[in-house]
Amino acid sequence: MAVDLSHSPDVAELVDRTRAFVRDVVVPLEEQHGGVARTEEVRTELQRAAKDAGVFAPHVSPEYGGHGLDMCGRAAVFEEAGYSLFGPLALNIAAPDEGNMHMLEAIATEEQKQRYLRPLANGQVRSCFAMTEPAPGAGSDPAALTTHAVRDGDGWRINGRKWFITGADGAAFAICMARTSGSAGRTEGATMFLVDADNPGMRLVRHIDTLDESLYGGHMEVVFEDCLVPDEAVLGEVDEGFRYAQVRLGPARMTHCMRWLGIARRAQDIAVARASEREVFGSRLGELGMVQQMIADNEIDIAASRGLITQACWELDRGRSAAQSTSVAKTFCAEAVWRCVDRALQICGSLGVSGDILLSRFLREVRPFRIYDGPSETHRWSIARRVLRRHDKESTR
Ligand SMILES: Cc1cc2nc3c(=O)[nH]c(=O)nc-3n(C[C@H](O)[C@H](O)[C@H](O)COP(=O)(O)OP(=O)(O)OC[C@H]3O[C@@H](n4cnc5c(N)ncnc54)[C@H](O)[C@@H]3O)c2cc1C
């Protein structure tokens, strides 16, 4: 079978335009703000510039003002956007909005799309995705879900506590996962609800202080207390929430990898520039074998990550579940990106850990990726179980 890894001329052109936009417009703003966008003014300025450059919303369909890229196209464009911590925000492809848009396009009703997807896709509003709960609730094991929703008249009453809800501060709505049947430990019986931020039953409790700071809106603890929503707030079908979560999580896992791969490349570029000018012991850093090894290992990690992302996206574009390949890619990329930034920082010495360049910021930002979208251990556990099941199936033939 012939394998063609080239992109269509339209996608290739968008990749080039995104690269130039990020280099010329986004990186200077990112450096000016130390990699953390804290105000709506910054977000609006970035998004206006992305619209002017014709690179805004590459992932949503043209009907909602986007470029309608498939997963393989997204892989190339998101990597370019991810070259700066501000790139995803500028293009409106940052987490969690990007994953929410993907899911809304896939399963929302027409009315829900007009009300929630349209303003989200054009950057008018932001959103959040509320799944994780403090112990003993849902975390790496979503089936532990304790937040519940019960019938109340024509609608639903939601009660529960969520935390680590990225972007909750300032979001116009939340997609809240709640149990509508079964009990904690069961992998069925969850439903997704669209909850408007002005609902008096949804309360933002506190910002959680975390290692990372660049995901816009921070991470919050959120309480749903007798939160009443109408039947039209159900996203998809009742009791199908875990199935829909997969619609969001598989691609969202890959888009995180794409964006962070951009940061790995940026870290490598910073390290290579430093290695080619800094002199120690009478030679440039780049002429020393151990530094060359770190530069080479970064290239290997970057190339391998891109290859695994491409494989998983290829499967997703063909409508396959890609459960194994997204788990493999996510685990590898999360660890490879960390290794790349860490090596780059080592090459830069004390400059690397200083606030004079953004490497130490990158290191803080990439570390949590080994935990969200499934910790590495959870993915390795799933990968191994699939391999063992395959072995059992083949050996009984
Ligand atoms: C920065 C950040 C942003 C986030 N944003 C969101 C968000 O917007 N919305 C949302 O709903 N959630 C969000 N989360 C939560 C995230 O999805 C969870 O942290 C993740 O699912 C892990 O759950 P947990 O933290 O409860 O860890 P736990 O479930 O308590 O797991 C702890 C550790 O146990 C180990 N472990 C897990 N499974 C296995 C296994 N099978 N075998 C061996 N060891 C295992 C791993 O080392 C894991 O790190 C975010 C988290 C972070 C850090």
- Residues 364, 315 share a domain: yes
Q: How far apart are CA 347 and CA 292, in angstroms?
A: 10
Q: How confident is the model at residue 1 (pLDDT cuts 50, 70, 90)?
A: low
Structural domain containing residue 61: 9-121
Same domain, 251 and 375: yes
Domain contains 2: no
Distance 330 CA to ligand 1 centre (A): 14
Same domain, 139 and 20: no
**What is the CATH classification number for the domain harbouring 51?**
1.10.540.10
pTM comes to: 0.97
Is residue 224 situated within a structural domain? yes
Do residue 290 and residue 348 come from a single domain? Answer: yes
Phi, psi dihedral angles at 200 (to 5 degrees):
-65, -15
Evaluate whether residue 207 is within a structural domain. yes
Distance CA 136, CA 147 (A): 11
Pocket test for ligand 1, best of 97, 133, 145, 164 (most atoms within 8 A of CB): 164
> Quick check: CB of 18 below 6 Å from ligand 1?
no
- Do 109 and 157 fall into the same domain? no
Neighbours of 349 (CB within 10 A): 13
Q: Which residue, of 88, 121, 154, is where some domain finishes?
A: 121
Residues 214 and 252 in one domain: no
Question: Do 82 and 27 touch, CB atoms closer than 8 A?
Answer: no
**CA distances (Å), 109 to each of 176, 234, 285, in order?**
17, 10, 58
Output the DSSP codes for 61-130: -GGGTS----HHHHHHHHHHHTTSTTHHHHHT--TTHHHHHHHHHHH--HHHIIIIIHHHHTTS--EEEE
pLDDT, tens digit (0-9, with 9 covering 90-100), for 241-278: 998 887 777 898 999 999 999 999 999 999 999 999 99
Domain final position from 63, 95, 121 = 121
The CATH number of the domain where 373 resides is what?
1.20.140.10
Q: Tell whether the model's pLDDT for residue 187 goes beyond 90.
A: no
Please check whether residues 295 and 167 belong to one and the same domain.
no
State how far Cα 144 lies from the chain centre. Answer: 23
Note the pLDDT tens digit of each residue in 305-340. 999 999 999 999 999 999 999 999 999 999 999 999
For residues 239 and 181, the answer to whether their CB atoms sit within 8 Å is yes
Phi, psi values for residue 320, rounded to 5°: -85, 160
pLDDT tens column, 131-142: 999 999 999 999
Claim to verify: residue 271 and residue 384 sit in the same structural domain: yes
pLDDT score of 79: 98
**Pair (390, 278) in one structural domain:** yes
Do residues 176 and 147 lie in contact, with contact meaning Cβ atoms separated by under 8 Å? yes
Total domains present in the chain = 3
Of 235, 251, 276, which residue constitutes the final position of a domain? 235
If asked whether residues 246 and 348 sit together in one domain, one would say yes
Residue of 371, 379, 383 with the most ligand 1 atoms within 8 Å of its CB, for mutation: 371
pLDDT for the residue 177: 97
The CB of 139 under 6 Å from ligand 1? The reply is yes
- What residue has token string 């080239």? 6
Q: Whose CA is nearest to atom 33 of ligand 1?
A: 375
* Residues 110-165: tens digit of each pLDDT: 999 999 999 999 999 999 999 999 999 999 999 999 999 999 999 999 999 999 99
| Residue of 249, 364, 378, 388 to test ligand 1 pocket, by largest number of atoms within 8 Å of CB | 378
Using alpha carbons, list the distances in angstroms from residue 21 to 42, 87, 176, 213, 261: 16, 9, 35, 23, 18
> Is 19 in the same domain as 96?
yes
pLDDT tops 70 at residue 343: yes
> What is the number of the ligand 1 atom nearest to the C-alpha of 168?
8
